[in-house]
Amino acid sequence: MQPEKISAEEFDERLNRLHERREELEERETELISHDHGGGLPADQQNRLDKVRGELADVLQEIGDLKDRYADATGAPADPDGALGE
């Protein structure tokens, strides 16, 4: 199944939103990690960290997928960091 085409404007808008979300998640991850002073995190904080890392992985995958989708729509080569470029 071919991905739906995407315009340059829509691509830029979605990519910017995804990068903003990525930055938010990375900041949250850093904040949670900073509470570990060598003895590990309490279970509730470790669960939060795991959730943030899962969301971050999803956002990074979405960024790669979006880049691949845009490359497909424009005929450009796939981004080496995208899912199709691996």
Overall pTM > 0.75: yes
pLDDT above 90 covers a percentage of the chain that reads 53
Length of the chain: 86
pLDDT digit string (tens) for 6-24? Answer: 889 999 999 999 999 999 9
DSSP H helical ranges for 1-86: 8-33, 43-74
Q: Are 29 and 49 in contact (CB under 8 A)?
A: yes
Burial class (CB in 10 A: 0-12, 13-18, 19+), 24: middle
